[in-house]
């Protein structure tokens, strides 16, 4: 019999512009893991180099709203004028096969997952400082000034949500942050409450 039959859901979240996406990509580049990324659905237009089905499933507002109506999203949020959401079927089917699934989502969505899947591991990516975050958001000049300001305001409000998470990982360097996340995932697997039940069965302890 295998330990941990149902897979682990890992939610990587945190303030806007903190570098969640970069950290998530670095995490997937590390060796020795079998993590699977859940590709989100969005109504945002693709950025240069983004590929449909790999970075996001890019859909129209109508298609997205139909998915909401049909109950096909595990969570969703409106973020700076666009919808973002996690397709339920993929997550469920992978978890039920014992896979480790990673979501990289903003904070409102993470709190919805917390309600629905309290068993998941919630990791808050924090900036090393406020000026560092401001610099990062400004540097990503793919968007208009007004949108950058909106993202900064939003990020500042979101700092206060850190206490709702199981772990805080400071994004001082991308490599450090990715290493710490993998260490957290490994430790979670060994947690008594996740394994004791099946372990007792294997050893036939009453």
In the DSSP assignment, the letter for residue 46 is P
From the CB of 84, what's the least distance to ligand 5GP, in Å?
4
From the CB of 1, what's the least distance to ligand 5GP, in Å?
34
List residues near ligand 5GP by CB under 6 A: 16, 20, 40, 44, 75, 77, 79, 84-86, 104-106, 109
From the CB of 41, what's the least distance to ligand 5GP, in Å?
7
How many beta carbons lie within 10 A of that of residue 11, not counting itself? 25
d(CA 47, CA 31): 28
Which of residues 40 and 67 has its CB atom nearest to ligand 5GP in the complex?
A: 40
From the CB of 126, what's the least distance to ligand 5GP, in Å?
14
**Phi, psi (degrees; rounded to nearest 5) at 3:** -75, 160
Contacts of residue 185, Cβ cutoff 8 Å, sequence gap at least 6: 8, 10, 33, 35, 100, 121
The residue nearest ligand 5GP at its CB is: 109
For the record, the structure tokens of 77 come out as 């949020």
Ramachandran category for residue 78: left, alpha or beta (phi over 0 → left; psi -120 to 50 → alpha) = beta
Which of residues 19 and 193 has its CB atom nearest to ligand 5GP in the complex?
A: 19
How many beta carbons lie within 10 A of that of residue 185, not counting itself? 18
Which of residues 3 and 80 has its CB atom nearest to ligand 5GP in the complex?
A: 80
Which of residues 67 and 188 has its CB atom nearest to ligand 5GP in the complex?
A: 67
Which of residues 3 and 88 has its CB atom nearest to ligand 5GP in the complex?
A: 88
From the CB of 13, what's the least distance to ligand 5GP, in Å?
7
């Amino acid at each position: 019999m295998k330990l941990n039959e149902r897979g682990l859901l890992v939610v990587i979240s945190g303030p806007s512009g903190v570098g969640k996406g970069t950290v998530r990509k670095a995490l997937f580049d590390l060796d020795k893991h079998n993590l699977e990324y859940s590709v989100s659905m969005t109504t945002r237009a693709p950025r240069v180099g983004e590929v449909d089905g790999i970075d996001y499933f890019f859909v129209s507002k109508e298609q997205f709203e139909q998915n909401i109506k049909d109950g096909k999203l595990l969570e969703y949020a409106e973020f700076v004028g666009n919808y973002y959401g996690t397709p339920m079927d993929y997550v469920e089917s992978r978890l039920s096969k014992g896979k480790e699934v990673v979501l990289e989502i903003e904070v409102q969505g993470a709190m919805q997952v917390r309600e629905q899947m309290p068993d998941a591991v919630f990791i808050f990516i924090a900036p090393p400082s406020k000026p560092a975050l401001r610099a990062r958001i400004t540097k990503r000049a793919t968007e208009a000034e007004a949108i950058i300001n909106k993202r900064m305001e939003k990020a500042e409000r979101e700092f206060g949500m850190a206490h709702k998470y199981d772990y805080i990982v400071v994004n001082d360097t991308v490599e450090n942050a990715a290493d710490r996340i993998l260490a957290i995932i490994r430790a979670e697997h060994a947690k008594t409450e996740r394994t004791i039940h099946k372990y007792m069965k294997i050893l036939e302890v009453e």
